[in-house]
Amino acid sequence: MSTAGGQVMPTGADVAGGAALALRSVSRRYGEVRAVDDVSLAVGAGEIFCLLGASGSGKTTLLRLLAGFEVPSAGDIFIAGRRMNDVPPYRRPVNLMFQQYALFPHLTVAENVAYGLQREGLPRAEIRTRVGEMLARVALGGLERRLPQQLSGGQQQRVALARALVKRPRLLLLDEPLGALDRRLREQTQFELVNLQESLGVTFLVVTHDQDEAMRLGSRIGVMDRGRIVQVGTPREVYEFPASRFVADFVGSVNLIEVANLVAGPEGWRAEAPALGCRLRLPAAPLPGGRPPVAVALRPEKVRLSVIGDREATAGENAVVGTIEEIAYLGDATNYLIRTTTGVPLRATCLNTAHVAAEGLRWGDAVGCDWPAEALVPLAE
Amino acid sequence: MATSPAERTLRPLRSRRGLAWLLAAPLAWLVVFLALPVAIVFSISLAQQTLAMPPYTPILVWDAVEGLRVDVTLEHYAFLIEDPFYLEALLGSLGMAASTTLICLLIAFPMAHAMATAPARWRAAMLLAVILPFWTSFLLRVYAWTGLLAGRGPINQMLLALGLIDSPLPLMNSNLAVQIGLVYAYLPFMVLPLYAALDRFDGSLLEAAADLGATPWTAFRTVTLPLVWPGVLAGSALVFIPVTGEFVIPDLLGGADTLMLGKVLWEEFFANRAWPQAAAVAVCMLLLVALPGLLRAAWEFVRGQRQGVPAVAARGGH
């Protein structure tokens, strides 16, 4: 499965069952609106795949297509090698953990978890054993007879997870699994979720609008925009090598710099950045296929700041000068907004590694900013 | 949160006197318009029948020799059991109430469901359409059915014109007419509580059920029905109880074979002037209708005591 952006058509082996999930040119249209537009994707067994997108990007529609609550307008959905297009939700080997959990308010915790097993017509003794095991696993032992509204948000989330996992699905769909939890609980729960996934070996497909959640949970991330998957890759690949301006901007904070007058040289490409009033040196192999980049992405944490004081300094190659306009101290890091001499802002982040910031940059200070060639990510679109 | 809005409004009532004053008004209402009339009817049911005005003897008699004497009889209750006529009327009423409740439930459930799932802009109009008949007098609406069901009425005319029948059907003055009238008149009382229950129902629960392997029917049985059950019970009670004592509809639309308690009661009172006998019928009818509710309240109270939580909380806050 390639790292370079865009769609990846599943192979014949993926469709035949090598992948937990394979989508082939799946679309879902509502009249003229394309909620999901020609999406192809293969998710391997045992993966945690995160679909990351803003609201309205089509990620929830895609999830509902997989769960069976929506029918694709075109394309094919394969789960564990079986075509699922016409299979109703209650016959699919997938389970969904709902965003608001959708726990049955009239049933106890144990009855909620047992619900899916009862539908399979399993013997009572087996249901009791499996429910007990699963509740112990999500640390809900002793709460079997509580009703959902008597539980905290975190406990409800674990009931929802247990209810979906106890069915031993081939694929578990999670809709914003941490979205309804407060911050402290999110970090703890996210580790539990990953541990549980590893020990059970179930494939997870997580839908989220929160890039933090996607980066922490996902073994791979698919970034969605306007119904399409615009990039698939590991969290590192998506962050360090965004395929487009959209992805660079959506995942993390970024400086997007337009480039002009590209010249291919022996050590890499050289270009001009008219907005910043400086020259750029780009890494050796800017883009696959040798296409010239239209812009470059520069992550704020890769910008180096230095106090220039009275020294006369000018913009050079991969270097600009400016004054500090805004400072946001975040504890572990500090974000700076630097107004460059051309008037264009540049964002920089410095880790506060020293106990007291040695440089002591202050509002209004004149600073020099520079970055290595490798920090610039060429963007084709 | 320090105090909920409910707690804040209730704070002045923490004093016992404030609470007593607040309860005084409904209590006075209940005494004057429920307890007192029931006590009067009950006392009449124990009195002797006589030819006078009012047509019964006083139950408390002042005697110069013996002092205060209580003159009561249970013969009217005994007669209710002796004469099978009353049992038939009772069974007729209960049967009619049961069939009306069931038919109303079958019609009202899809209606309420459609209303609850309709786009928001349609709901007010649909709700209005259900309530609209109340703007017209109940008596007039029932009376209108006598015209509709008449031998030369529009229903028979239409069936004749369509060639479905050769001669007009004898619709009026039959149990069928009574049944139609009852369902028509009481349908809104079933629709409204069902709508309220279905409106609160969270549709994502059905998706969760389907996701866990429940077919649509199983999801309805195991999720929808238990959650809207309070609405079903409320609607059924609102239909069953008044239909048991209904008088106007069987009187206007029913025939000689229509035997219902309300009609019997009316005839005993006004046609036969048998006030004590009619009072005995009324007391039995009241007991019959109120008994399930009283039993349920008692059961919930006992259960609440046993679990040490208020009965309302034990039901799960719905």
Please give the average per-residue pLDDT across A192-217, as a whole number. 90
CA distances from B123 to B111, B112, B113 (A): 12, 10, 11
Average model confidence (pLDDT) for chain B? Answer: 87
DSSP B222: I
Please give the average per-residue pLDDT across A107-117, as a whole number. 96
Q: Which domains does chain B have, with CATH numbers?
A: 37-73+274-318 (no CATH), 92-259 (1.10.3720.10)
pLDDT reported for residue B176? 92
Q: Which domains does chain A have, with CATH numbers?
A: 12-93+169-248 (3.40.50.300), 253-379 (2.40.50.100)
Mutating which of A65, A99, A106 best tests the B interface, going by the most B Cβ atoms within 10 A? A106
pLDDT reported for residue A236? 94
Please give the average per-residue pLDDT across B284-312, as a whole number. 76
pLDDT reported for residue A357? 52
- Could you tell me the two tokens for A145? 């007879």
Of A104 and A138, the structure prediction assigns the larger pLDDT to: A104
When pLDDT is cut at 50, 70 and 90, the band that residue B307 belongs to is low
When pLDDT is cut at 50, 70 and 90, the band that residue A306 belongs to is confident
pLDDT reported for residue B309? 47
Q: Is the ipTM of this complex over 0.85?
A: no
* pLDDT at B227 exceeding the cut of 60: yes
Q: Spell out the residues 6+ positions from residue B262 whose beta carbon is closer than 8 angstroms to its own.
A: B93, B244, B245, B246, B247, B250
Asked if the Cβ–Cβ distance from A119 to B213 is below 8 Å, we say: yes
Determine contact, residues A47/A20, Cβ cutoff 8 Å.
yes
- Could you tell me the two tokens for A319? 């270097």
* pLDDT at A10 exceeding the cut of 90: no
Please give the average per-residue pLDDT across A265-286, as a whole number. 81
Please give the average per-residue pLDDT across A99-116, as a whole number. 95
Distance CA B281, CA B269 (A): 10
Report the residue of chain A nearest B206, measured CA to CA.
A102
- Could you tell me the two tokens for B53? 């005005």
When pLDDT is cut at 50, 70 and 90, the band that residue A4 belongs to is very low
In which residue are the tokens 């799946």 written? A26
* pLDDT at A216 exceeding the cut of 80: yes
> Chain A: nearest CA to B281, how far in angstroms?
41
Please give the average per-residue pLDDT across B27-38, as a whole number. 93
Distance CA B303, CA B318 (A): 17
When pLDDT is cut at 50, 70 and 90, the band that residue B143 belongs to is very high
> Chain B: nearest CA to A23, how far in angstroms?
20
Torsion on CA atoms A80, A82, A84, A90, rounded to nearest 10: -70
Please give the average per-residue pLDDT across A166-171, as a whole number. 91
Determine contact, residues A112/A156, Cβ cutoff 8 Å.
no
Report the residue of chain B nearest A165, measured CA to CA.
B212
pLDDT reported for residue A373? 87
When pLDDT is cut at 50, 70 and 90, the band that residue A2 belongs to is very low
A20-52 pLDDT per residue, tens:
899 999 999 998 899 999 999 999 988 999 999
Asked if the Cβ–Cβ distance from B211 to A147 is below 8 Å, we say: no
Q: Does A169 touch chain B (CB under 8 A)?
A: no
Q: Does A69 touch chain B (CB under 8 A)?
A: yes
B236-247 pLDDT per residue, tens:
999 999 999 899
Determine contact, residues A313/A321, Cβ cutoff 8 Å.
yes
- Tell me, what amino acid is at A169? P
Asked if the Cβ–Cβ distance from A116 to B227 is below 8 Å, we say: no
Please give the average per-residue pLDDT across A357-378, as a whole number. 83
Angle of helix A124-137 versus helix A109-119 axis, rounded to 10: 130
Residue numbers in A near B213 (CB within 8 A): 90-91, 116, 119-120, 167
